[in-house]
Chains A and B, each alone.
Chain A
Amino acid sequence: EVQLVESGGGLVKPGGSLRLSCAVSGFTFSSYSMNWVRQAPGKGLEWISFISSSGKYIFYADSVKGRFTISRDNAKNSLYLQMNSLRAEDTAVYFCASPTITMIQGVTDYWGQGTLVTVSS
């Protein structure tokens, strides 16, 4: 069974930092790129970052560029998002998500359950 489990969310003051983690099991993590997507309360989905399978290629949304850093540890089957200089507008549920993967049962992608980050004084 594929599982993506995020952790590390919580309440942080403006200007503060948090590190999110996403523990992956059930597929060969090192073979696939990964993404972080967030959703502000009552709002739509916003893609924020991509990392290739090796970590060589990384992309960010303009809204987080220079403040957030995506990384991965393929030996630990884990994805990370270091978030610095947090702002109120970063308040959201953060999801880690796989690309579409072809498994025996078919093609789909996988998402974690999300972790809530609240930026407030």
Chain B
Amino acid sequence: EIVLTQSPGTLSLSPGERATLSCRASQGVSSSYLGWYQQKPGQAPRLLIYGASSRATGVPDRFSGSGSGTYFTLTISRLEPEDFAVYYCHQYGTSPRTFGQGTKVEIK
């Protein structure tokens, strides 16, 4: 099983600041099959990034993804009030599919 470890667990930032979230895999993940999700309380997850770096439809360009192999990052260039949420990385190239434990981005 590929274990995805996200860091930090919580990121305390102010609106307008840059957020960098990390996702480290216990073994190599095909970039084609690494995604990032945003989840707000009481809602289903929302796909932000697929294929490690491609933005899903409707996702603002302040969200970007990068990385390969065992290390991936999600960057939010300038935090908007609606961006404060929990973010998960997800690998879907190898069964069992796995999610990271999540990074909470909270208002400082």
Q: Nearest A residue to B54 by beta-carbon distance?
A: A107
Residues in A32-55 with C-beta less than 8 Å from chain B: 35, 37, 44-47, 50
Interface size on A, residues (CB 8 A): 24
Residue ID in chain B nearest A33 by CB atoms: B92
Binary CB contact string for chain B from 6 to 42 against chain A (1 if under 8 A, 0 otherwise): 0000000000000000000000000000010101000
**Interface footprint category on B:** 20 to 34
Question: Which residue from B37, B58, B90, B98 sits with its C-beta under 8 Å from A106?
Answer: B58
A-B contact count (CB 8 A): 57
B102 lies within 8 A of A59 (CB) = no
- Name the B residues within 8 Å of A105 (CB-CB): 57-58
Contacts A95-B44, A106-B56, A107-B54 given: A45-B90 contact, CB under 8 Å? yes
A100 to B35, CA, bound (A): 10
A44/B57 contact (C-beta < 8 A), A107-B50, A112-B44, A113-B44 known: no
Q: List 10 A-B contacts (CB under 8 A).
A: A35-B97, A44-B100, A45-B45, A47-B90, A47-B99, A60-B96, A95-B44, A105-B57, A107-B54, A108-B56
